[in-house]
Structure 1
Amino acid sequence: MLLCAALLSGACGDDAPPGSDPTKPAPFKATQVPSSQGLAPAHGFADQSGGGIFATPTGGAVRLRLDGTKAALAAHPQNKATLGSVSATFRLGPHSALVETNSGLFLADQGWLIEPLWQEVLGTGIVATAQTADGAAWLAHPTGLYQLQGGTLASLKLSGQALSGITTMTAAPAEDGLPGLWFAREGKLNVVVASAPGVYQVRGSDAPLGNGETVEALAGISAGTGTPGEVWVLTSTRVLRRNPEGWSTVELPSRPEQLMGAGRFLWARAGGQLYTYDADAKVWGVAEGLPSGTPTLLAVDETGCAWVDVNGQAMAVTKAPVPRVTGLHQGMLVVEDGLALRATLPPGPAPQSVAFQLDAEAEIASTGPLFSLGGLEADEATLKPYSLATLAPGAHTLSVVSRFEDGTEARRAVPFTYQPLTTTPGYARDIRPIHEARCAKCHTTSPGRPLNTYDLWKSNAQLISAAVRDLRMPADGPLDPQGIALIQRWVASGALP
């Protein structure tokens, strides 16, 4: 169990309403990509690379691509438990999801549904999940609040008691700017912050909730380059927003029934319409041209895309046909001085041009069909890495923009942190302990490919680096940021023994 020093301070009181933040949503014709598969109106997972993992109306799990078609997804042959009927899916990392079924929980990764070792500890009934800045995944369950880090599931307790009864949760900075995990319990708002490694405080919030006003949903907006994240709160009477300037009330045409955030975007369903907020541009929009009926938000991703169900028709909805970036995800820690990056275009009209931009530097034009930032090798099929050697360590943003004949453009901006190599790790000293602690149970003989020797690690070095960097492996939960950086440094410095 994870025991912590816990502090419950502050209270939700009778403060006067905070300043008003009126919105002026601009109508936009929604870009829609219908799904080839009907989806259940249940919580889903949307991948920022496109597509996602969702429950179907018949109780199955489906993995969708950017164009709405189905991709491979099957129960792993080494699972002991049967999959059962799927009720919902939840985010665990940038490209991985937690699938809840009536027979238990499964991790969805690279086309497999994998039974985690900790499944028996936690039964069904997941309320919400979130991932904090330290790479930990958090699971709110009727029995308490759990942290999944390093492949280990642990319970966070307050004064020795489980934090049961959580109704909604999101990751966003605390009121003092520290990385936080916000949750609502018994209608009130609290935030978890790390006071030391492995030690957490549970704080009350100074959110100005009135008498009888309760918290119904939380949504987080992540940090951008030089811009902090925010927490948004849907209460029984209004929408509250907390940014560095403090709390304010957000005035939409009507109070939302749903509120979801991912990356720098927020989506809300209110009065039968879908509203979206772009935190970088600081503008609101309201979607037009959707099929008649009341939309249900299933999931949202960091590109500003929402997956919705309207009268049984599932579709991806965006403000514009935004290109996706592969090889880099939101908030990623990059230690290599070269990355193979490409843009993937959504279905629809082809743009006149596609270009990349790193910070405020000049644009770099890219050509199809691969749209590689670094260009292609002589075989015209392998992406060349783009050199980051001239970048200063710290926060940066990579953007890719598509421009169309009618003068419009669609942009995807991906903030990341660059920390170039400063050490030269070795396999025996640095990597083998990670393998034995986190990888050996699946990658000695089966079910994964064997990786139980230095030679096998070296020959698979690029695949391993990509899998841990994208938080797709290990299968029972991602490594901590230090472990991920160590493997990347080992690969980038020549995979020494």
Structure 2
Amino acid sequence: MMNRASYRIGPLLLAALLSGCEQPSLPQDHPSPQPFTPVQVRTEVDVAPAPGFADQTGGGIFATADGNVIRLRLDGTRAALESHPGNTVAPGRARAVFRVGAGSALVEADNGLFLAQSGWLIAPPWREVLGTGLVATAATPDGAVWLGHASGLYRLQDGALSALKVNGQALEGITALASAPAEDGAQGLWFLRQETLSVAVRTAPGTWQVRQVSSLPLQEGERVVGLAGLGASEKARGEAWVLTSSRLLRLAEDGWRQVALARKPEQVLAAGRFVWVNMDGKLLSHDAEAGTWGEASGVDTREFRFLAADESGCAWVQLGAETLALSKGPVPRVLGLLEGTQVVEDALVVRARLVPGVAPLSFTYEVAGVEVPVRGPTYSLGGTEADGTPKAYSFVGLEPGPHTLSAVARYADGTEARRSVSFDYQPLSSVALGWDKDIRPIHVARCAKCHDTGPARPLSTYTQWKDNAELIIAAVKDQRMPADGPLDPQLISLIQRWAATGANP
């Protein structure tokens, strides 16, 4: 059993939600959605009407109608996903799937919770703490994954699971979670509990304060029914979006705003910088980075359900008996650089994966005002070796701080498909790092149980780490490893810096 971390929780701030008439000063956004015909990819299997996980590099993980859990590729076909041979118990019938990391998901099955990573279903060491009853998950920028469960609110970080409580009481009854800045701009976790909206704010390492949201401009009889969170980018900070019983509100940098829609919104879903809204027979897509709204044409939403969304602007939905992935266009997927990643290396291998179909007339990357045209089939930002192996692209000269990398496919009919990925570039520190001093403690704490005597690749010595440094970095950056949950971003950066500065002993 793991050691549970202890949290010092500040008092619950008692403040009633505002009621009465809507404040006249509440600013309003008036979207003018432009019609678009979405690219539709149909799955080859029957997916259950339950939450799923959408991978920003393409595909996703879902529960099927017959109780299995499957991985889907970008084209809707089935990929490998099996119970790990090291598991002591089989998952059983799958119920739902929830996001854990950029490339990993948490599967709730009859026999408990399992992590889905790299084609495996892995039983994490903390699974015995939580049984079935998972409702929602959300990831905050500090690398923590929050689990809203029937028994309370839990925080998963560095393989350790701990409960967040207020005055010693579990936060039971949570129905929705979203990661977004609080009203004062601090890092926050928004949650809906018993129709009351609250936000947990980190005030110091290991200390979280739970605040009831008192500034939400609710009208008399209006109640909160859903939440969504927009991620931060080079242009703007993240945002909390609140779906009420009658309208849609968003917390922008200048305060609360109403999204004035032509019809009553019924469902909202967000990932990265994209928001999807099901609005009484209409399906809207909002690109917050571009500040544009679109309305999907030819989509019958009478029997409609959101399953998952990813940072590329793709939504997985059910339309009657069919399961489809909907995108505004044939958006490329970027591999090697994930949304919100902190990049500490001077060079990075970045490639693109295209939606199956017509090849683009041209393909270009854009970063820091520089355009880099590339060719298929690898679409590598750094070009390729003679044998077709992708080369790394150098970020030398790029100013430290937030940036956006865009992969742009242009087609013969004049259309354009763009995927923009926000990242934070923090060049390498001059401090010398060593395996024994800096990296071995990470191995002992998070990797040894699988990579010393377990079923995985041996990685118990300095030489083994040095020889496998590229594979290790790829696995932790993609959040495929460790098997018991993603590493803290600072630890990932430490491993990257160690390898990039000579992999010293």
For 2:296 and 2:368, locate their aligned partners in 1 and report how far apart those are by CA, in whole Å. 30
| 1:292 CA displacement | 7.3
Q: In 2, are the aligned partners of 1:357 and 1:399 still within 8 Å (CA)? A: yes
Give the one of 3, 7, 10 matched to 1:3: 7
Which residue matches 2:130? 122
Query: Match for residue 405 of structure 2?
Result: 398
Aligned partner (choices 467, 483, 505) of residue 475 of structure 1: 483
2:416 equivalent among 399, 406, 409: 409
Q: How many residues align?
A: 495
Give 1:245's aligned amino acid.
D
Give the letter for the 1:51 counterpart: G
What CA distance in whole angstroms lies between the structure 2 residues aligned with 1:45 and 1:236?
26
Partner Cα distance (2:84, 2:163) in 1: 27
CA contact 1:273–1:294 (8 Å) conserved in 2? no
Matches within 5 A, 1:136-151: 136-151=144-159
In structure 2, the gaps of 5 or more residues are none
Pick one of 237, 241, 260 that aligns with 1:251: 260
Of residues 8-17 and 237-246 in structure 1, the stretch that sits farther from structure 2 once superposed is: 8-17
Q: Give the aligned partner of residue 181 of structure 1.
A: 189
The question of whether the paired residues in 2 share the 8 Å contact of 1:353 and 1:402 is answered with yes
- CA separation of 1:292/1:194 partners in 2, compared to 1, >3 Å: closer, same or farther? closer
Identical positions, percent? 55
Aligned-pair CA distance for 1:421: 1.0
Contact 2:283–2:299 (CA<8 Å) still a contact in 1?
A: no
Corresponding residue of 2:349: 340
Q: 1:157 aligns with which of 153, 165, 173?
A: 165
Tell whether the 8 Å contact from 1:274 to 1:295 is kept in structure 2 after alignment: no
CA distance in 1, matches of 2:369, 2:471: 31
Q: Which amino acid aligns with 2:135?
A: V
Give yes or no for contact 1:142–1:166 (8 Å, CA) kept in 2: yes
Whether the 8 Å CA contact 1:33–1:347 is kept in 2: the answer is: no
Q: Which among 205, 213, 220 is matched to residue 211 of structure 1? A: 220
22-31 or 398-407: which moved more?
A: 22-31
Alignment partner, residue 282 of structure 2? 273
Taking structure 2 as the reference length, the TM-score comes to: 0.96
Does the C-alpha gap of structure 1 residues 239 and 331 become closer, same or farther in structure 2, counting only changes over 3 Å?
A: same
Q: Distance in 2 between matches of 1:8 and 1:250?
A: 29
CA contact (8 A) 2:21 2:220 kept: no
1:210 deviation in Å?
2.9
| Distance apart, 1:278 and its partner CA | 0.7
Structure 2: how far apart are the matches of 1:211 and 1:82?
50
Shift of 1:290: 2.9
**Paired letter, 1:266:** V
**Letter in structure 2 aligned against 1:365:** P
- 1:9-408 correspondence runs (5 A): 9=13, 10-14=15-19, 16-17=21-22, 18-205=26-213, 206-290=215-299, 293-361=302-370, 363-380=371-388, 382-408=389-415
Aligned-pair CA distance for 1:293? 4.6
Say whether residues 1:444 and 2:472 are aligned partners. no
**Per-residue deviation, 1:100:** 0.5
Q: Is the CA contact 1:272–1:295 (under 8 Å) kept in the aligned structure 2? A: no
> Contact 2:332–2:419 (CA<8 Å) still a contact in 1?
yes
* Offset of residue 245 of structure 1: 1.5
Residue 252 of structure 1 deviates from its aligned partner by 2.1
After superposition, the Cα gap between the structure-2 partners of 1:232 and 1:265, relative to the gap in structure 1 and judged at 3 Å, is: same
8 A contact 2:105–2:117 mirrored in 1: yes
Give distance in 2, aligned partners of 1:306 and 1:253: 22
Runs of 4+ residues deviating >4 angstroms: none
CA contact (8 A) 2:403 2:424 kept: yes
The secondary structure found in structure 2 opposite 1:92 is strand
Structure 1: 5+ residue runs without aligned partners? none
2:134 aligns to what SS in structure 1? Answer: coil
Q: Is the 8 A contact 1:4 1:158 kept in 2?
A: no
Residue in structure 1 matched with residue 463 of structure 2 by the alignment: 455
User: Mean alpha-carbon deviation: is it higher for 115-124 or for 5-14?
Assistant: 5-14
Aligned CA distance change for structure 1 residues 424 and 469 (closer, same or farther; 3 Å): farther
Name the stretch that deviates more: 315-324 or 281-290.
281-290
Deviation at 1:16, TM superposition (A): 4.3
Give CA-to-partner distance per residue, 1:134-154, whole Å, 9 cap, x none.
010000011110000010000
Q: Distance in 1 between matches of 2:299 and 2:9?
A: 49
Aligned AA (2:358): P
Q: Is the 2:20–2:220 Cα contact (8 Å) retained in structure 1?
A: no
State the shift of 1:5 in Å.
2.6
Deviates more, 1:104-113 or 1:437-446: 437-446
Residue by residue over 1:445-490, the C-alpha shift from the partner in whole angstroms, topping out at 9 and shown as x without a partner, is 3221111111111111100011112222111111112211110111
Moved more, 325-334 or 478-487: 478-487
Residue identity opposite 1:87 in structure 2 = R
Q: Deviations over 1:392-444 (max 9, x none)?
A: 11111110100111111011110101111112211111111110011001111
Q: 1:292 to 1:268 in 2, by over 3 A?
A: closer
Matches of 1:450 and 1:11, distance apart in 2: 56
> Does structure 2 conserve the Cα–Cα contact (< 8 Å) formed by 1:330 and 1:416?
yes
**Aligned equivalents of 1:253, 1:62: Cα separation in 2:** 38
**Cα distance in 2 between the residues matched to 1:48 and 1:321:** 14
Is the CA contact 2:283–2:301 (under 8 Å) kept in the aligned structure 1? no
State how far apart, in whole Å, the 1-side matches of 2:460 and 2:365 are.
39
Mapped to 1, the partners of 2:80 and 2:465 lie a distance apart of 26
Question: What SS does the corresponding residue of 2:180 show, helix, strand or coil?
Answer: strand
> Residue 291 of structure 1: CA displacement?
5.6
Report deviation, 1:294. Answer: 2.6
